[in-house]
Amino acid sequence: MLALKGIPVSNGVAIAKGYCLVEPDLSFSKITIQNNDAEIMRLNEAIEHSKIEIERMQAAATQKYGEDKGAIFGAHLLVLQDPELFVGVAQKIQSGMNAEHALDETVQFFIQMFEGMDNDYMKERAADIRDVSKRVMAHLLGVELPDYSRINEAVIIVAKDLTPSMTTQLDPTFVKGFITDIGGKTSHTAILARTMGIPAVVGAKSATMDIKHGEPLIIDGSTGEIFIQPNNEQIAQYKKVEEENKQFKQQLAKYSELKSISKDGYSVELAGNIGKPQDVASVLAAGGEGIGLFRTEFLYMDRLDLPSEEEQFTAYKEVLEALNGKPVVVRTLDIGGDKNLPYLNLPHEMNPFLGYRAIRLCLDHQELFRIQLRALLRASVYGNLKVMFPMIATLEEFRMAKTILEEEKEKLLLTDVPISTEIEIGLMIEIPSAAIIADLFAKEADFLSIGTNDLIQYTLAADRMNENVSYLYQPYHPAILRLVKMIIDAGHAEGKWVGMCGEMAGDKVAIPILLALGLDEFSMSASSILTVRSQLATLSKELLVPHVQKLLQLSTAQQVEQVVIDILK
Amino acid sequence: MEKMFKITAPEGLHARPAALLVSAATPFKADITLHFKEKTANLKSIIGVMAQGVAPGSTIVISTQGSDEAEALQAISDVIATKGIGEEC
């Protein structure tokens, strides 16, 4: 009945068996063999079994997520059938090596060759070779690799970390929660868990060591607690919490039909953050009044090449049509930082968050940017499109991005392509320089959206992927509150609306402050929308405003949090 | 038999183009070789093709040898032309 503690990143309680995504032991002995033919037959059988598995995974991925995901497994099949690779292995077997040893030596040679290339794309190919050969090795050794597509009962996934390509294989019907060794509030696993609406605890350090596969677990995604082999008393206690959560959710259901309005009648807009057209359904189900952030980079990730203009057009059109006239804020490609696209061969950087990313990359790689803008412009007639540029630091960048958009618009109009005349153009305020001159941006933009995840990391100079400085991720830091107030005031002075699409917009303590500061639009994970709407209904803006003036004079984040909690009592 | 091509795919012979070429070459009996600079690679090997690191704008030669060499070269030329990988020169 061991208890662990991690960082709570997605609320709720899950009670289920642990499913450890831990690599099995693939160590082998080096033996000199006598019967070469039998050994080659063993190798061929292992390849054949691997082929069947990869084909099955390819079919499942294609059916669930489309051709692009399937193509990744297609590349794995080509590696598996690669004559250079397996002729090399067969030759080594002929010279007396056992199959495991021969496979390992050949594969290491190729992996080193690819890893030695000064090119991220090629380095990724080393990962493909490693992946495929691992599967063949597992068959040779008669051990099983974890295969999440085969999970057919309720489980809590326990892993070192979850990558986007791993998570595309997870079936939400059976996956009840996540525990990872590493990660923070804005890691991929955390965002995914909130999108799926399942509890998650990340950064639990030794979880994969302490939890055995199949062991009963309880996780509390609001406190970060993990119980291994819980006793009956704990199970009963958490079943009760689970039941209360369920009832709370049922009570919340009535808010899906209601407006987002404070007790004293101030209305705001509650929108959802999405990464893919498929995510729209949960935003609409939660009564979202729009899409406040469409993270388009997810259309570019987990694939082998750039999405075409046509593919993007289809995705944007689908989202715009599904929203049926409600606003959709599309953020243009925000790649770099913690999100890389191996096929673009971007240079490796010492400080990726301060480097060549988002709008900087798009303005430099205009061919890529223009394709996305054309797809957006063409889709604009199918709904209420708003285009937002990420990571703007200077007015020049914003003007240049707008000019490029304008140029593409004119080109399309010349060829008689219909384009909406109502497209609003805005930017994400996530760099302190942009926050400080928000008044100047407000004159040239149709709206401002505050991206708090990055604004906090840049203002406090704390890399949000670095666990050693995660204590500096402080949404209630007086500097952040003052910046947020500046941005909202600057937007309103020019008659422009101001939104927020970072994690802070769904934060219980931040919401009363943001309401009092006059934020117009709050955008968050679909799973938070109803909770926030129910909280808004209990708040009175008029009563909060005087407190906020005092809050802005406090000296620490902790004081701010305490005062807000006291006010809410 | 052989033909020369200029690679126009913006990513060079990586990923998608390499996979398309290897998939087109694999069904044929003929030996199919990619010549790039002083090096050669088996066109039925995805690893071999990608390891060449053929950049956009480069010129390559594809040679085929075996009973179905003409059909093989034709099939590969078609893929290069129709899938935006490159152009004959």
Please report which confidence band the pLDDT of residue A269 belongs to, taking 50, 70 and 90 as the band edges.
very high
Q: Tell me if B11 and A305 make a contact (CB, 8 A cut-off).
A: yes
ipTM of the assembly? 0.85
Q: Output the pLDDT for position A120.
A: 67
Active-site annotation holds for A188: yes
Q: Please give the mean pLDDT across all residues of chain A.
A: 91
Do B4 and B58 meet the contact criterion of CB atoms below 8 Å apart?
A: no
Out of A74, A82, A121, whose CB is closest to B47?
Answer: A82
Do A32 and A229 meet the contact criterion of CB atoms below 8 Å apart?
A: no
Q: Output the pLDDT for position A549.
A: 87
Phi/psi class of residue A129: alpha, beta or left (left: φ > 0; alpha: ψ in -120 to 50)? alpha
Q: Output the pLDDT for position A65.
A: 67
Residue B55 in contact with partner chain A when CB distance is under 8 A = no
Q: Tell me if B19 and A305 make a contact (CB, 8 A cut-off).
A: no
**Cα A370 to Cα A398: distance, rounded to the nearest angstrom:** 15
**Cα A57 to Cα A165: distance, rounded to the nearest angstrom:** 12
Q: Which two tokens stand for residue A509?
A: 């303590």
Q: Tell me if A78 and B50 make a contact (CB, 8 A cut-off).
A: no
Residue B74 in contact with partner chain A when CB distance is under 8 A = no
**Cα A248 to Cα A524: distance, rounded to the nearest angstrom:** 19
Out of B19, B44, B50, whose CB is closest to A83?
Answer: B44
**Cα A46 to Cα B28: distance, rounded to the nearest angstrom:** 25
Q: How far is A130 from chain B (nearest CA, A)?
A: 12
> What is the 8-class DSSP label of residue A205?
T
> What is the 8-class DSSP label of residue A216?
E
Please report which confidence band the pLDDT of residue A527 belongs to, taking 50, 70 and 90 as the band edges.
confident
Out of B15, B26, B51, whose CB is closest to A343?
Answer: B15
Do A424 and A520 meet the contact criterion of CB atoms below 8 Å apart?
A: no
Phi/psi class of residue A106: alpha, beta or left (left: φ > 0; alpha: ψ in -120 to 50)? alpha
Q: Tell me if A343 and B48 make a contact (CB, 8 A cut-off).
A: no
Task: Sort out which chain B residues have CB atoms less than 8 A from A75's CB and list them.
Answer: 15, 19, 46
Q: Output the pLDDT for position A544.
A: 95
State percent of chain A over pLDDT 70: 96
Element housing A389 (H / E): strand A384-389
Q: Which residue has the tokens 């831990």?
A: A22
Nearest residue in chain B measured CA to CA from A118 = B53
Please report which confidence band the pLDDT of residue B84 belongs to, taking 50, 70 and 90 as the band edges.
confident
Q: Output the pLDDT for position A303.
A: 78
Count contacts between A and B (CB, < 8 Å): 52
Interacting residues of A267 by C-beta distance below 8 A, sequence separation 6+? A259, A260, A261
- Among A329, A336, A439, smallest CA distance to A395 is for A439
Distances from the Cα of B56 to the Cα of A124, A183, A311, B60, angstroms: 19, 38, 23, 11
Task: Sort out which chain B residues have CB atoms less than 8 A from A122's CB and list them.
Answer: 50, 53
Q: Tell me if A78 and B11 make a contact (CB, 8 A cut-off).
A: no
Q: Output the pLDDT for position A69.
A: 67
Q: Tell me if A74 and B19 make a contact (CB, 8 A cut-off).
A: yes
Q: Tell me if B45 and A85 make a contact (CB, 8 A cut-off).
A: yes
**Cα A131 to Cα A59: distance, rounded to the nearest angstrom:** 18
**Cα A183 to Cα A201: distance, rounded to the nearest angstrom:** 9
**Cα A507 to Cα A244: distance, rounded to the nearest angstrom:** 21
pLDDT of B11 > 90? The answer is no
pTM for this predicted structure: 0.72
- Mean pLDDT check: name the lowest of A136-140, A188-192, A262-266, A552-556: A188-192
Residue B75 in contact with partner chain A when CB distance is under 8 A = no
Q: Tell me if A84 and B50 make a contact (CB, 8 A cut-off).
A: no
Do A208 and A159 meet the contact criterion of CB atoms below 8 Å apart?
A: yes
pLDDT single digits (tens) B20-63? 899 999 999 999 999 999 889 999 998 889 888 888 899 999 99
Task: Sort out which chain A residues have CB atoms less than 8 A from B42's CB and list them.
Answer: 83-84
Q: Tell me if B22 and A78 make a contact (CB, 8 A cut-off).
A: yes
Task: Sort out which chain B residues have CB atoms less than 8 A from A343's CB and list them.
Answer: 11, 14-15
Task: Sort out which chain A residues have CB atoms less than 8 A from B10's CB and list them.
Answer: 367
Task: Sort out which chain B residues have CB atoms less than 8 A from A110's CB and list them.
Answer: 47, 51
